[in-house]
Amino acid sequence: MLTRIGRFFNEHKFKLLLLACWIVLLSVQPNLYDLLDEYVSFVFLGVLGAIFANSTGAGGGVVFVPFFNQLALSSQTIVATSFAIQCCGMTAGALTWYRHYRASHKLDPQWSMMPKGLSYTVPFSIAGILFAQFAFGHYTDAVQNSLHLYFGLFSIALAVCIYGSIPLMKRNTFLTALLPIDIVALCMIALGGGVITAWLSVGVGELVAVYLILRGFNITFAIALAVILSAMSVWAAIVYHLFISQAIYWQIVLFAGAGAVIGGMIAKHVVLFFSPKRLKIFFATWVMVMGLAGLPIFP
């Protein structure tokens, strides 16, 4: 019995540490009862957003931005809060996917491009984010002032690309190496995706995942790489909102972030349980609906 308990604590010590930290943080909050009454439902939003994000390669902003729009939060608060929640959920998902890669696919030829793919995309994504936030912040402000419109347009375009890739699911063989053209394309996509991510809190993970799938790489590999890339990107993006914009809605993050950690841990099992085709159809449909809802013609 003691051996089983010890094994459980050893396997889940990181998760238990996170839980303990969250309980301590929650316990020191003033007016705890009122806080729970008003914000505890955001735990479920965090779980949903993180499962969606970490099982598709998309950032959690695809869920959080439309929901926060309905709460009439300011555009900057929406983006900043979305980033903060994703720092929790995407990190949990990235660690889960990385352990899955090390345990099951490190020697798999279809996953062999993981280190190289990240080494090219992560620096360019971070560069795009910092460029948009610090060098051309006025453009970022202009985009975020019309967040509904640009988020809607991006989501619709992304959904069309995903639907277009569904016929490619019939492939029986997958690429196992990045060609020079792929390296160039991924760097450019990551750079542009980083800029879009700084604007909308979504972008780089979705674009990289779609490109890899369209090119014929293993779908689960593409999702895993996109999740890890997104996790690293949102940590770079949150710095601006911590020290410059200071627009993060911390009460929401406290609960939605906890839910996002839970969702990030179980998302891998969702991907491995459902067929990739069903996941893509569901993902594309959700993104299309959210995109249409964000257009000005749907107030």
| Range from 86-100, 194-208, 245-259 carrying the lowest mean pLDDT | 86-100
User: What's the pLDDT score for residue 181?
Assistant: 95
Select the highest-mean-pLDDT range: 79-93, 124-138, 185-199: 185-199
d(CA 135, CA 192): 15
d(CA 299, CA 295): 8
CB crowding 177-199: b at 16 or more within 10 Å, else e? ebeeebbebbbebbbbbbbbbbb
* pLDDT of 26 higher than 50: yes
Please give the average per-residue pLDDT across 280-286, as a whole number: 79
- Please, what is the Cα angle at 44 between 204 and 193, to 5 degrees? 5
Contact 238, 84 (CB under 8 A): yes
* pLDDT of 79 higher than 90: yes
Q: How many CB atoms lie within 10 A of CB 98?
A: 16
Among all chains, which residue has been given the structure tokens 């063989």?
173
Among all chains, which residue has been given the structure tokens 């975020």?
144
Q: Encode pLDDT of 112-147 as tens digits.
A: 999 999 999 999 999 999 999 998 777 777 888 888
d(CA 73, CA 67): 10
- pLDDT, mean over the chain: 84
User: What's the pLDDT score for residue 174?
Assistant: 87
d(CA 117, CA 111): 10
d(CA 74, CA 280): 31
What the block records as the tokens of 144 is: 């975020």
Predicted TM-score (pTM) of the model is: 0.88
The gap between the terminal CA atoms of the chain, to the nearest Å, is 59
User: What's the pLDDT score for residue 204?
Assistant: 93
* pLDDT of 247 higher than 80: yes
Band (pLDDT 50/70/90 cuts) for residue 54 is: confident
Select the highest-mean-pLDDT range: 12-21, 229-238, 265-274: 229-238
User: What's the pLDDT score for residue 8?
Assistant: 45
Please give the average per-residue pLDDT across 272-295, as a whole number: 76
